[in-house]
Structure 1
Amino acid sequence: MKHAIIMEGIAKGFQHKKVIQPLDLTIERSGIFGLLGPSGCGKTTLIKMIVGLINPDAGRVTVLDYKVPNEALLMEIGYMAQSDALYTELTGAENLEFFAKLYRLSKKERSGRIRYAAEIVGLTNDLNTRVAYYSGGMKRRLSLAIALIQNPEILILDEPTVGIDPSLKRTIWQELERLRDEERKTIVITTHVMDEAERCDKLAMLREGAIIASGTPAALKEQYAVKSLDDVFLQIGGVR
């Protein structure tokens, strides 16, 4: 199985507005793939269709050789949404425990995965605090920990480092790269931050629901004879 995700002829609209133009997208296994573009360009809609939260109006989505949506994929995908879906009356530890049980991890596995996930996102000392008292950045970090909890084959992360301080952001990216290199995970990340886009193995640049360019960061800069991804976006009309 060479490809982790295949999208064929995908289109989506809401209230008579086309959010995703008909497009094809293939994401290979074992790498970090970035969906890059400004707010409102369709990144979140695209990944919700990959996860199976919404259905396309046209086309087909296949993940790990399963047609989406498929219950078998629930254990294989770790999803971090742009909006934090947390139980604020529970502590951080109780949130992690709940999701670990949901994924049917054994007691020993739950303990180990909770320690690991909390350490990666820098929440070890805050696990016994109710999430209602977490800052916005802490909630984002807990959402990322939940996405990691069941050791998924594919990580789908929607703007994962928004509101996170630079030091922890660096730690998170180091872990994403380790997961790619050592555990051969497939990671799909949405971002509008160019320094994060530079760390992706491949990119698809979106504008108004269409892919306007794709390839490695180096190849895109070479193709448009520029030194930065910002300049690539400007060259192809990414900013008006």
Structure 2
Amino acid sequence: MLTLSKVTKRFGSQTVVDSLDLSIPQGLVFGLLGPNGSGKTTLLRMAMGLLQPTSGRITIFENNSPGDSEVRKKLGYMPQQLAVYPGLSVRENVLFYGRLYGIPENNLSTRSLEILEMVELESHQNKLAGDLSGGMLRRLMLATTLIHQPALVILDEPTAGVDPSLRLRFWEWFEQLAQGGASILITTHHISEAGRCDKVAFLREGLLLEHDTPDTLMRRYNSENLEQAFVQATQAKLED
């Protein structure tokens, strides 16, 4: 689905992603876990084709480049920052993004209602986005990300600022999407969220420390939880 081979990204003299090798298979929730500044967002932006790597190669959907126009139609990206129009209603935002992705008008009306029902915003569809609570805005952003049924969904801290109960709902939706065959690439700094991923990668200062299933990583580092495993992986890397 998505493969990164020896990918490095530098901004001036600063190396943000350092010779990273990673493969994201189909139908899994794959988490990138690391503190702020570990290179997570930069990695996502390169996967989307929004940034070019300094060196290395990124391929998606077999041998295609992330920047290809046909590839982008199969991608859904939810950034950290607000990406909806406050002066449009909830449904108008979803319809706007659906048209951007080229969904035919005869399908768009039905699809927009389906996705609003999924994120539990159908009863708020006529509200202005600018009048929504923070949690509702995050749900609306997820709806605009998924309106075109992307094969690869890229989510940058999608649950930032939402309450614990809504966070659980988000993860139920992510798992449903993966069960339906989509690949989910998600960044988080919440250990509890990373534990729900099918696979997780530990990142620190642009380096890939480890990647595997959460249970395998905890066994590998004889740890009771992922937080301990992350600390142990960091220490092991420093000792190399």
Task: State TM-score, norm by structure 2.
Answer: 0.92
Deviations 1:35-81 (A, max 9, x none): 11111111000010001011111111101021221111121111111
CA–CA distance in 2 between the matches of 1:147 and 1:158?
12
- Structure 1 residue ranges (4+ consecutive) displaced by more than 4 angstroms after TM superposition: none
Question: Residue in 2 aligned with 1:222?
Answer: 219
1:114 aligns with 2:98: no
CA–CA distance in 2 between the matches of 1:210 and 1:138?
34
Given candidates 3, 8, 20, the residue that maps to 1:6 is 3
Question: Residue in 2 aligned with 1:237?
Answer: 234
Deviations 1:133-172 (A, max 9, x none): 2233322221111111001111111111112222222222
2:182 aligned partner, one-letter code: K
Given candidates 197, 202, 207, the residue that maps to 1:200 is 197
1:198 aligned partner, one-letter code: G
CA–CA distance in 1 between the matches of 2:134 and 2:165?
17
Deviations 1:76-110 (A, max 9, x none): 11111111222222111111010111122223421
Question: Residue in 2 aligned with 1:135?
Answer: 133
Q: What is the root-mean-square deviation of aligned Cα atoms in Å?
A: 1.6
Identity %: 40
CA–CA distance in 2 between the matches of 1:173 and 1:101?
27
CA–CA distance in 1 between the matches of 2:36 and 2:122?
32
CA–CA distance in 1 between the matches of 2:234 and 2:55?
27
Given candidates 96, 99, 108, the residue that maps to 1:98 is 96
Task: State TM-score, norm by structure 1.
Answer: 0.92
Report SS of the residue matched to 1:170: helix
Given candidates 180, 196, 209, the residue that maps to 2:206 is 209
1:119 aligned partner, one-letter code: E
Deviation at 1:21, TM superposition (A): 0.9
Unpaired segments ≥5 residues, structure 2? 236-240
1:172 aligned partner, one-letter code: F
Given candidates 77, 87, 99, the residue that maps to 1:79 is 77
Matches within 5 A, 1:174-189: 174-181=172-179, 183-189=180-186
